[in-house]
Amino acid sequence: MQNNPLKALFPQLVGARPLIYLDSAATSHKPLSVIERTNQYYSNENANVHRSSHTLAAQTTAKFEAVRQQVQHFIGAKSDREIIWTKGATESINLVANCLSTQHLQTGQKILLSALEHHANLVPWQQMAQRFALQIRIMPVDDKGCLLIEQALQLIDSQTALVAVTHVSNTLGNINPIELIIKKAKALGAMTLIDGAQAISHLKVDVQALDCDFYVFSAHKMYGPTGIGVLYGKQVLLESMSPYQYGGEMIQQVGYFDSTFQGLPYKFEAGTPNIAGVLGLGAAVAFIEQHRALIDQIESELYAYLLQQLAQIKQVQLWGETKNSIALQSITLIGLNIQDLSILLSEQNIAIRTGHHCTMPLMQRLGLAGTLRISLACYNTFADIDAFMQALKNAVLQLAPDSAIQDESNVVVASELRPIVNILPLAQKIKAAQGWDSVYREIMMAGKELNRLPVHLQVAEYEVNGCESQVWLNCEVKEQHLHLQGDSPSKIVRGLLAIIFEVLQGQKVESIAVFDMAAYLHQLGLSRHLSSSRGNGLLAVVQFIKLQCELACAKN
């Protein structure tokens, strides 16, 4: 889709140097209609709902409740009383998990989840299982991350109380055969919850046709505002559940010693709701419904083109399904660190998600530290993919494996005490580099000078928490001077460690205590090239070093 008519409707994506945004699975951009609708509320309609009797409040309440009916029809619910406003899919799942566990689940019963689940559809059930002596069972995936449906169905039995499964994997893009899962669960009397956060903007959802008991999603992944989401639940189940939170809005009558509560949907909506968010969600639903055919066409063409282009790079490994997927693809590149790739892509104006994508158990199952996730939406173009591919090729060229042999016995020790404010040889090259590509080339070259930690010491005892990529450090204080070894799977992080080591190696402990890393990085011109997470990771490294120095001094 080279000339995409929808892209112009998204103001943040047009301009002199438009952002190449390939991270829509994390959050989608918002069309002008959504932005204007939320602005209109705050500019002209600001009043609380369901509370006041004046005209403005009554008008705003009517518009607010009209969106509930709009969402009801959008997902095919039987009644608008089955539509509950929440902060998002995460709160929706927590609401169901807490309410069901206290009233509908019995000791020893099973909760069945898939190996693909986002932490939001895993951790709440883990906590409920621990509190109420329930059993967690996991539907398996194959070595590419595709759900093994026959084995999954066999796990549903008479002891299964609930099956909670994602409609679409947020990490891999797989569209799961939830119809088969729901049918089997229903036949054996188990309830079903479907996490639709990644499906809702890509697929037509009909909850009555699916016959699921609960369906959850967030507005911000479907072109709507943040902080607003939907819990759909069958009316009979919602009526049988006690309120999740208590306070204003959800009460019917309150005394000093007892209270009664509203019926559906209000008993689950304590406090003033996100009114602007609800109205913005309504505008997002209208946008999808108006352009659904074009959205489907654009995303289908973009995904096919992405797969075609990725095939040109021999190091690329694809994860998940490609024939039964939304416009999302997770990749790794053989021999290359994904954090390094992400840093170099970001420097080239490519917004892309890297890491475990809140699916750490899935990454462990696949034997991965994480993936690069390219997630497309209706505002992307072939030109976006071309720019990404060129940036990826540039990154691959910069990160080509080097032939340096690690000498684990080589410990670099300063021959004399250096003033800690000096800019030393490795840092001098960084400071002199012109352009982001030259800066990162010098950083990676610096990594070859790192006094690397032997592999057998790369264990939890030496790992630094708080870093974007894994980092291990060994700090020794000999005769009041610091000696360092370190390592990381990331070439760029190894380079940054070498730059820090260069200025700290051999220094007196008292000098280490007053070292200002942020000022030093600024002095080198590196601050503008480091994201907040990478900067925080380096800060964690320096804090780790300082702590080890303090402990060594205390022993002496």
Q: Identify the structural domains of the chain with CATH numbers, from first to last.
A: 7-29+292-398 (3.90.1150.10), 425-555 (3.90.1010.10)
**Residue 403: which pLDDT band, with cuts at 50, 70 and 90?**
very low
Nearest alpha carbon to residue 528 among 416, 430, 444: 430
Give the pLDDT score at 554: 67
Count how many Cα atoms sit within 13 Å of the Cα of residue 77 in the half-sphere of its side chain: 24
% of residues, the chain, pLDDT over 70:
94
> Taking 80 as the threshold, does the pLDDT of residue 418 lie above it?
no
pLDDT at position 191 is: 98
Question: What is the rounded CA–CA span in Å between residue 262 and residue 100?
Answer: 19
Say yes or no to pLDDT of 264 above 50: yes
Res. 411: pLDDT tops 50: no
Query: What's the pLDDT score for residue 155?
Result: 98
User: Environment class of residue 17 by beta-carbon count within 10 Å: exposed (0-12), middle (13-18) or buried (19+)?
Assistant: exposed
What is the value of pTM for the model shown? 0.83
| Inter-residue contact 348 to 173 (CB < 8 Å) | no
Tell me the helix, strand and coil percentages in the chain, rounded to 5: 45, 15, 40
Answer for the pair 482, 512: CB distance below 8 angstroms, yes or no.
yes
| C-alpha to C-alpha distance for 451 and 406, rounded to whole angstroms | 9
Beta-carbon contacts of 171 under 8 Å, excluding residues fewer than 6 positions away, are 116, 118, 145, 319, 320, 330, 356, 357, 359, 362, 371, 373
Percent of the residues in the chain that have a pLDDT greater than 90, as a whole number: 68
Q: Where residue 1 falls among pLDDT bands split at 50, 70, 90? A: low
Looking at residue 402, its pLDDT comes to 44
Report in angstroms the alpha-carbon separations of 68 from 64, 197, 389: 7, 18, 42
Report pLDDT digits (tens) over 443-475.
898 999 999 999 999 998 889 887 778 899 998
Name the band, by pLDDT with cuts 50, 70 and 90, for residue 221.
very high
In the predicted model, is pLDDT for residue 126 greater than 80? yes
- Contacts for 137-143: CB closer than 8 Å, 24+ residues apart: 137/110, 137/111, 137/112, 137/113, 138/112, 138/113, 138/114, 139/112, 139/113, 139/114, 139/115, 139/165, 140/115, 141/114, 141/115, 141/116, 141/362, 141/365, 143/366
By the 10 Å C-beta count (0-12 exposed, 13-18 middle, 19+ buried), 407 is classed as exposed
| Each residue's pLDDT tens digit, 50-98 | 988 899 999 999 999 999 999 999 999 999 999 999 999 999 999 999 9
- The per-residue b/e assignment along 221-235, b for 16 or more CB within 10 angstroms, e otherwise, is bbbbbbbbbbbbbbe
What are the start-end ranges of the H helices in 410-483?
425-432, 436-447
pLDDT at 551 over 70: yes
Longest dimension (CA), the chain: 81
Q: Is the pLDDT of residue 9 over 50?
A: yes
CA-based nearest residue to 428, from 445, 408, 410: 445
Q: Does residue 550 register a pLDDT over 80?
A: no
- Report yes or no: 110 and 135 within 8 Å, Cβ to Cβ: yes
Checking if the pLDDT of 556 tops 80, the result is no
Q: Confidence band (pLDDT; 50, 70, 90) for 317?
A: very high
Select the more confidently predicted residue: 489 or 533.
489
Residue 296 is predicted with a pLDDT of 97
**pLDDT-derived band at 414, boundaries 50, 70, 90:** very low
**By C-alpha distance, which of 502, 490, 398, 489 is closest to 449?**
502
CA–CA separation, 109 and 92 (whole Å): 22
CA distances from 17 to 9, 14, 349, 350 (A): 17, 8, 9, 11
List, for residues 180-190, the tens digit of each pLDDT value.
999 999 999 99
Q: Are 68 and 209 in contact (CB under 8 A)?
A: no
pLDDT of residue 190: 98
Query: Distance (Å, rounded) from C-alpha 480 to C-alpha 344?
Result: 39
Helix (H, G, I), strand (E, B) or coil at 193: strand
Phi/psi for 258 (5° steps) reads: -160, 155
- What mean pLDDT is predicted for residues 192-204? 98
From the list 231, 197, 224, the residue with the least C-alpha distance to 80 is 231
Mean pLDDT (the chain, rounded): 90
Q: Name which of 445, 552, 544, 419 is nearest 485 in CA terms.
A: 544
DSSP for 315-362 reads TEEEES-SSSB-SEEEEEETT--HHHHHHHHHHTTEE-EEE-TT-HHH
Query: Tokens 């019995």 sit at which residue?
Result: 106
Higher pLDDT, 430 or 203: 203
Confidence of residue 206 (pLDDT cuts 50, 70, 90): very high
**pLDDT recorded at residue 532:** 67
Residues with active-site annotation = 358
Query: Could you give the CA distance from residue 34 to residue 283 in angstroms, rounded to a whole number?
Result: 5
List the beta bridge partners of residue 113: 138, 164
pLDDT of residue 415: 31
Least confident of 74-88, 135-149, 220-234, 428-442: 428-442
Q: How far is it, in rounded angstroms, from Cα 171 to Cα 23?
A: 11
Highest mean pLDDT out of 30-34, 367-371, 399-403, 411-415? 30-34
Cis omega (within 30 of 0) for bond into 489: no
pLDDT digits over 285-294, tens only?
999 999 999 9
Q: What would the mean pLDDT of 381-388 be, rounded to a whole number?
A: 95
304 — pLDDT class (breaks 50, 70, 90): very high
